[in-house]
Amino acid sequence: MQTASLTFYSFPLSGHAHRVALMLSLLNVPHRQVEVDLRQGEQKRPEYLAMNAFGQVPVIDDNGVVIADSTAILVYLAKRYGDASWLPADPAGAAQVQRWLSVASGPLASGPATARLITVFGAPYDVETTLARAHALLAVMDSELSTRAFLAGETLTIADVACYAYVAHAPEGNVSLAAYPHIRAWLERIESLPRFVPMPSSAAGLLAA
């Protein structure tokens, strides 16, 4: 076990931050967590912008090595604290993982993640277009998960960590998972992992009281 020299700057309701929280827990990396109050604009203060000029969470400071962007952090943690299963070294395996990291930053961000932004944070996006994007992605994901246990193959990788939170919390954005049995089974596999940590739920969308 490594010495607790890593600081993790987070926000509890951020799926991007949860990616890092989950990875740190799965790898059992000791760390100190600092909550950045996005509602109060702490991410735009000069001291925070010095770590991430985009003014976003998450950020990690691993004993002076500062990494911003959730997928970049996942790559760093996999290389620094994990074994080769998290991010395969072979070209085909690495490409499969990268494909889903790109999905996490593209269709997942513009679909389920944006749908949740609308309902949880009141973001001014077009609902109909966003929901269509979300279900188009989930249909592809469900089909591919019908043939394998995890997104990039039969082994858990950072691809699964990158995609988990916004899929699991899609119902908060009025995106039902009822039609996607293979996705639901994939979520259950992740949630049954030792040291799995959930992201707090919001009473929004399909989860509204």
144 in any annotated domain: yes
> Residue 19 belongs to a domain with what CATH number?
3.40.30.10
pLDDT at position 4, please? 63
**What rounded mean pLDDT belongs to the chain?**
95
- pLDDT tens for residues 135-166? 999 999 999 999 999 999 999 999 999 999 99
70 and 153 assigned to the same domain: no
Instruction: Answer whether residue 86 is part of any domain.
Output: no
Does residue 1 form part of some domain?
no
Question: Sorting pLDDT into bands at 50, 70 and 90, what band is 168?
Answer: very high
Based on the fold, state whether residues 42 and 125 are members of the same structural domain.
Answer: no
Q: Count of domains in the chain?
A: 2
Does residue 2 carry a pLDDT above 80? no
pTM of this structure: 0.94
pLDDT at residue 37 above 90? no
Comparing 42-51, 68-77, 93-102, 162-171, the range with the smallest average pLDDT is 42-51
Closest to 122 (Cα-Cα) out of 24, 13, 4: 13
Closest CA to 169 of 24, 14, 20, 58: 14
Summarize pLDDT for 176-195 with one digit per residue, the tens: 999 999 999 999 999 999 99
Instruction: Please state, in angstroms and rounded to a whole number, the distance separating the CA atoms of residues 111 and 113.
Output: 6
pLDDT at 3: 53
| Residue that is last in its domain, among 17, 52, 81 | 81
State the average pLDDT over residues 112-125.
96
pLDDT at 1 over 80: no
Query: Domain of 11?
Result: 6-81
Asked whether residue 114 falls in the same domain as residue 192, the answer is yes
What pLDDT, on the 0 to 100 scale, is given for residue 44? 86
Mapped to the 3 state alphabet, what secondary structure does 94-105 carry? Answer: HHHHHHHHHHHH
33 & 136 share domain: no
Q: Strand, helix or coil at 14?
A: coil
Distance of alpha carbon 60 from alpha carbon 29, whole angstroms: 12
pLDDT score at 38? 83
In a domain, residue 108? The reply is yes
- Quote the CA–CA distance of 77 and 25 in Å, as a whole number: 11
Nearest to 88 by CA among 171, 148, 158, 4: 158
Q: Same domain, yes or no, for 119 and 181? A: yes
The answer to whether 115 and 134 have CB atoms below 8 angstroms apart is yes
